[in-house]
Amino acid sequence: MIKMLILSLTGQCNFACKYCYAHEHPAEIMDVATAIAAVELAAADGQAFVLQFSGGEPLLNFPVMQEVICYVCEQGLPAIMQLQTNASLMTQERAAVLKAGQVGIGISLDGRPDINDRQRLLPDGQGTCRQILNGAGLLATQGIATGITAVVTNENVTKLSGIVEMAYYLGNVRRIGFDLLRAQGRGGEMAAPSSEDVWQGMKEAFQTAEQLAKQTRKSMLFSQIERVDTLAKSQMQGFAHCHAMNGEAVFVDAQVCPLVWSQLRQAGVCR
């Protein structure tokens, strides 16, 4: 049974983040046939599953993403669709498609502009915060709630409260998730923040959220707290890392070949 399907629509990205773990992923663009075949594989048993559009920057292959969204909706498949994006390529038209498909959206942002732009860069070395905020603003005008995902490094670990402030500033952010630096790709060239700094940074972020919640009467959800609650209650449903560890997650990129589909069919995973 597949509970989580990750479609890497392309390995290409219009950013060149200092810590990118995926910059060596295949640059090919996934075609519609491959994407639909993967979705049919995940939906074969009729059970609900998470369908995550990933990359690279998945909006670089928006035509295929749109085809998949339409297919899921037209076929009534039990897919919970999600998109992780830097939002810089967002348009009103794309936002409307995502809204109609009820696609959950997570925006990658690492802090206030001066902090974000130290590590989330364009290929020419310029910062990216302006482009990210433009895209986030387009989503807000469509009334689309989003989440923020921030990568925690030595550059921003002491300024995590700034991410909370940015979330409240944007107005349509409902959830924040913090991902620790991965020692993969470019991330392997960077020093990870110490556990003490992470603890202090997270503590300050939570305190800032509590203060702003009192002022605005709007609470912010944190993915880390939700995960702890889930594990404490021994409820694994919907917990992505557990899907992967239990062999219930599938990652598909543009290089998947006919042999892979054949092996999956022989294993009884794909009909």
Q: What is the pLDDT of residue 271?
A: 46
Listed range (22-36, 37-51, 173-187) with the worst mean pLDDT: 22-36
Report how many domains make up the chain.
Answer: 1
Q: Quick check: is 101 in a domain?
A: yes
Over residues 215-235, mean pLDDT: 76
* Average pLDDT estimate for 130-158: 96
The pLDDT score that the predictor gives to residue 262 is: 54
pLDDT mean over 19-28? 80
Whether residue 156 lies inside any domain: the answer is yes
pLDDT tens readout for residues 164-222: 999 999 999 999 999 999 888 888 888 899 999 999 999 999 999 999 999 999 999 99
Token digits of residue 59 = 């909006």
Position 228 scores a pLDDT of 59
Q: Quickly count: other Cβ atoms within 10 Å of residue 183's Cβ.
A: 13
| pLDDT the model gives residue 178 | 95
Burial class (CB within 10 angstroms; exposed 0-12, middle 13-18, buried 19+) of 223: middle
Domain assignment present for residue 137? The answer is yes
- % of the chain surpassing 90 pLDDT: 71
CATH code, domain with 50 = 3.20.20.70
Residue 198 to residue 87: CA distance in whole angstroms: 26
pLDDT value of position 110: 97
The per-residue pLDDT for 28 is 85
- In this prediction, residue 77 carries a pLDDT of 97
Question: pTM for the full model?
Answer: 0.88
pLDDT for 224 equals 74
Q: Is residue 40 part of a domain?
A: yes
- Which residues pair with residue 82 across a beta bridge? 52, 104
- In the prediction, which pLDDT does 132 show? 97
Instruction: Confirm whether 9 is domain-assigned.
Output: yes
**What is the 3-class SS of the chain, one letter each residue?**
CCCEEEEECECCCCCCCCCCCCCCCCCCECCHHHHHHHHHHHHCCCCCEEEEEECCCHHHHHHHHHHHHHHHHHHCCCEEEEEEECCCCCCHHHHHHHHHCCCEEEEECCCCHHHHHHHCECCCCCECHHHHHHHHHHHHHCCCCEEEEEEECCCCHHHCHHHHHHHHHHCCEEEEEEEECCCCHHHHHCCCCCHHHHHHHHHHHHHHHHHHHHHHCCCCEEHHHHHHHHHHCCCCCCCHHHHHHCCCEEEECCCCCHHHHHHHHHCCCCC
Rounded Cα distance, 165 and 167, in Å = 5
Average predicted confidence (pLDDT) for the chain: 88
* Within-domain flag for 246: yes
**Does 258 map to a domain?**
yes
* Greatest mean pLDDT range, 17-26, 37-46, 79-88: 79-88
Domain enclosing residue 10, as ranges? 4-266
Report yes or no on 271 lying in a domain: no
Cα(168)–Cα(164) distance, integer angstroms: 6
Among the ranges given (22-31, 69-78, 139-148, 196-205), the one the predictor scored with the smallest mean pLDDT: 22-31
